[in-house]
A and B are shown apart, each in its own frame.
Chain A
């Protein structure tokens, strides 16, 4: 398989180097035709915040020439050394792409975003007509690996960030987040992320409060919530179902008595509190109040670590999916050789000829039977002559074009399906 892959990822280089090789969609669309012009008949490039990868397929595909192009195209200075890049060829390149698609090569184990990013890269290659016969099959197989990994294993299950863990927990307490209200106290990074995740789950009302009103307003604008003044937020508490607190404060922002009051004044049952402040913002004793679910950074981190460990345990299952799909792709690839295809075609047509002759031979006089055999053989040979010569003399075609031709013949004559049927029948 003349497939070559070159790239940079979080495994090989830090962010400041990765960002130098980051390609926007426009840059990808500009680069692919140039690569094709250099003789790589099929190529796909995708770029995310953690990786940029370039796949090329051609009889003459070489890692060195691809690396040169990769670095030159982005005018990268000497800061990126060969050690910052990775490269694979043939079988190893396929295996690598499948690992990436399955999410087990990602920084976040089981990442679900990566599959969409690969799809986007493949669609750009289709737009610039650099994804041909081989890349189509390769990337469809990669998407299949990604899909299988998510449906047949638990690789993408369980929250693996503190902010998402909090939202996931909320869904185990409340029935419909669209009917609930949340209050974010503070405007730090984790509070921002939690607010975004809550909004992503269509939380009914999202209020944000912060000592600096401008920051609360900015966050409210960003996530589509409502800013409320820090001095008066306590008046709103009995209408709130979820409170996320992450401010720097020497004293508790909410103590046990506050929480007891809130619970008493609430009509519905549960109150979910997430304390991600250091030092803690909510009195830990509030955990003992009936119907109060209080989580701090430590308890959320425990949840996250358990989920990461569970995802890691799924890797062997993913590896066997990858092995199956690589074997399938290799079977398909090796079927696309001229000589075995010609032999299979001859065998198929000869089988049909023989079958028909045997069925009808009794209609002929015994003296004509030899002639029937001869004539039918001649007809078959004449019909097959041109296709076989064309398949044999495909030297002027690129590897991909030749394989496409072979694949078409196999499909048109139903070589693989007829073989299967015959072997099942026998």
Chain B
């Protein structure tokens, strides 16, 4: 069923791209729909890898509310700046959004892990203890999401640079949004490295994952709202 919905959503996004002649990532509500799609795709991948379905409720609810917000407020948009019609831009935004979706999912797993961890430690065997998969599975799911997020952000950054040099002559590497993205990318990179080398385990990895998410949200919202730079299009 999830696969069916993902295919329908993909058809919708494709139809919108063709109808309005630009990738559907130019307004907040278009982006919300792509985010919903990205969360569902990333979750489907993780579910397939881990063969654990118990966490679908938590993740797919996020996708549902993103899409609900989009469906309620999205408008037909024919006039968009020429630079946003570029396919480099489309790839940059698509990989960044999929990356941020994976970050969101990793944070949910991190949060669930921490809740279950504290319940088991405190001998509190409530609903969470009964319904969630075991700690090790949550850790694996979190790591899959983090690895996906890191890979996709890397791609978004590389494509972004290529597009940047082709499109802008006045870009600045000290742009707050660029710095924010680099910090997020670095936090996840350090986390993966620390886990692989065994420096960080279990609870601390999850704390880092949730922290990474908070930084990502900060970089995407606060910086976007209060700072100006070339990386702003409307």
Chain A residues packing against B (C-beta within 8 Å): 169, 171-176, 263, 266-270, 287, 290-291, 293, 295, 299, 302-303, 306
Can you list 24 A-B pairs with a CB-CB distance of less than 8 A?
Answer: A169-B120, A172-B120, A172-B135, A173-B120, A173-B135, A173-B136, A175-B136, A175-B137, A176-B136, A266-B201, A267-B198, A269-B139, A269-B202, A269-B205, A270-B202, A287-B121, A290-B203, A291-B201, A291-B203, A293-B120, A293-B121, A299-B123, A302-B123, A303-B123
The answer for the CA separation of A287 and B123 in the assembled complex, in Å, is: 12
Contact B129 A172 (CB under 8 A): yes
Query: In the bound complex, what is the Cα–Cα distance between A268 and B136 (angstroms)?
Result: 9
Q: Which residues of B contact A175 (CB under 8 A)?
A: 133-134, 136-137, 140
Instruction: Report yes or no: B201 in contact with A268, Cβ–Cβ below 8 A.
Output: yes
Interface of B is mostly: helix
The answer, yes or no, to whether B125 is at the interface (CB within 8 Å) is: yes
CA gap between A176 and B135 in the complex, in Å: 11
Least CB distance, A418 to chain B, in whole angstroms:
42
Q: List the B side residues contacting A299 at CB < 8 Å.
A: 123
B231 at the A/B interface (Cβ < 8 Å)?
Answer: no
Q: Nearest chain-B residue to A170 (Cβ)?
A: B134
> Do B125 and A306 touch across chains, with their CB atoms under 8 A apart?
yes
Contact, CB under 8 Å: A171 / B134:
yes
Is B136 touching A303 in the complex (CB atoms < 8 A)? no
User: What would 5 more interface pairs be, CB under 8 Å, given A175-B136, A269-B139?
Assistant: A269-B135, A270-B202, A290-B201, A290-B204, A293-B121
Most buried by A among B123, B129, B203: B123
Complex CA gap A350/B168 in Å reads 96
Chain B residues in 8 Å Cβ range of A263: 201
Nearest CB of chain B from residue A60's CB, rounded to whole Å: 52
> Which residues of A are found within 8 Å of B137, using beta-carbon distances?
175
* Residues of chain B from 160 to 206 with CB closer than 8 A to chain A in the complex: 198, 201-205
A168 to chain B, nearest CB (A): 10
Binary A-proximity of B104-141 (CB < 8 A = 1, otherwise 0): 00000000000010001101010001000111110110
Measured CB to CB, the nearest residue on chain B to A307 is B125
> Do A295 and B134 touch across chains, with their CB atoms under 8 A apart?
no
Seen from chain B, the residues whose Cβ lies within 8 Å of a Cβ on chain A are 116, 120-121, 123, 125, 129, 133-137, 139-140, 198, 201-205
Chain A residues near B140 (CB, 8 Å)?
Answer: 175
In the complex, chain B residues whose CB is within 8 Å of the CB of A295: 123
Docked pose: A299 CA to B119 CA in angstroms:
13
Cα separation A302 to B135 with both chains bound (whole Å): 22
Q: Return chain B residues, CB-CB under 8 Å to A171.
A: 134
CA distance A295 to B64 in the complex (A): 40
A residues in contact with B133, CB < 8 Å: 175
Residues of B within 8 A of A303 (CB): 123, 125
How far is A270 from B205 in the complex, measured between Cα atoms in Å? 12
CB–CB A173/B198 < 8 A: no
**Nearest CB in chain B to that of A299: its residue:** B123
A289 to B137, CA, bound (A): 21
- Of listed A270, A287, A303, residue having the most chain B CB within 10 A: A270
Determine the residue in chain B with the shortest Cβ distance to A306. B125
Q: A268-B201, A290-B203, A290-B204 are in contact. Are A172 and B134 (CB under 8 A)?
A: yes
Residues of A within 8 A of B198 (CB): 267
The listed residue (A173, A267, A302) touching B134 by CB distance below 8 A is A173
Provide the residues of chain B in CB contact with A290, threshold 8 Å. Answer: 201-204
Enumerate the 4 nearest inter-chain pairs by beta-carbon distance, A residue then B residue, closest first: A269-B202, A175-B136, A291-B202, A269-B201
CB-defined contacts of B205 to chain A, threshold 8 Å = 269
Residues of B within 8 A of A306 (CB): 125
Question: How far is B202's CA from A267's CA once the two chains are assembled, in angstroms?
Answer: 11
Contact partners of A287 in chain B: CB under 8 A: 121
User: Which chain B residues lie closer than 8 Å to A173 at the CB level?
Assistant: 120, 134-136
For A172, list chain B residues within 8 Å (CB).
Answer: 116, 120, 129, 134-135
Q: How far is the CA of A207 from the CA of B170 in the complex (A)?
A: 67
